[in-house]
């Protein structure tokens, strides 16, 4: 009886987490922890084809630099465009990264590996809207 009771409580705990995360990114399993997000992004570029190409400088928080055509390009050099902060979710909410582009807005994402794609490809789920984008993460030079 004691084992059955523990199993039922564990099941309710799992169901409670699933219900609590049933917002816009509900069912977005395999999400990276805050520590994993920091390891994944710190000192690396996050790129979305023809949209983002941003270097994450820092650790749990830091600056975002848009690569553009590179730091030495005389016409379109790299420039800081915002900041980021990585935080643990509270309760059953997702761990996340928040991008702050000042007047351009703030955006929060849960991150997980994108199945069936090359290593270094991730799904970023916008915690407010549920929109999912494919992001390539790369060390070294820009994407």
Residue with tokens 């994993």: 36
Q: Count CA within 13 A, CB hemisphere, residue 3.
A: 0
100-120 per-position pLDDT tens digit: 999 999 999 999 988 878 778
Domain count, the chain: 1
Has residue 107 been placed in a domain?
A: yes
SS3 label, residue 122: strand
Q: What percent of the chain stands above pLDDT 90? A: 59
What integer pLDDT is reported at residue 49 of this predicted model?
A: 85
Has residue 103 been placed in a domain?
A: yes
18 membership: H or E segment, kind and range:
helix 2-20
Has residue 108 been placed in a domain?
A: yes
19-60 per-position pLDDT tens digit: 344 468 877 778 899 999 999 999 999 999 878 899 999 999
- Could you give the maximum distance between any two Cα atoms of the chain, in Å? 74
| Residues of the domain holding 108 | 2-138
Has residue 127 been placed in a domain?
A: yes
Rounded Cα distance between 35 and 93, Å, is 15
What integer pLDDT is reported at residue 93 of this predicted model?
A: 85
Has residue 48 been placed in a domain?
A: yes
Rounded Cα distance between 42 and 59, Å, is 5
Has residue 143 been placed in a domain?
A: no
Cβ atoms of 25 and 17 within 8 Å: the answer is no
């Amino acid at each position: 009886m004691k084992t059955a009771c523990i199993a039922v409580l564990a099941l309710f705990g799992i169901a409670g987490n699933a219900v609590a995360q049933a917002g816009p990114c509900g069912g977005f399993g395999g999400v990276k922890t805050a520590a994993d997000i920091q390891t994944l992004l710190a000192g690396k570029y996050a790129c979305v084809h023809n949209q983002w190409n941003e270097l994450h400088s820092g650790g749990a928080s830091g600056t975002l630099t848009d690569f553009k055509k590179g730091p030495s390009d005389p016409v379109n050099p790299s420039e800081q465009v915002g900041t980021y902060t990585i935080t643990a979710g509270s309760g059953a909410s997702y761990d996340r990264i928040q991008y702050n582009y000042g007047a351009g807005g703030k955006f929060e994402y849960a991150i997980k590996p994108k199945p069936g794609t090359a290593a270094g490809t991730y799904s970023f789920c916008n915690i407010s809207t549920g929109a999912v984008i494919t992001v390539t993460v790369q060390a070294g030079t820009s994407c």
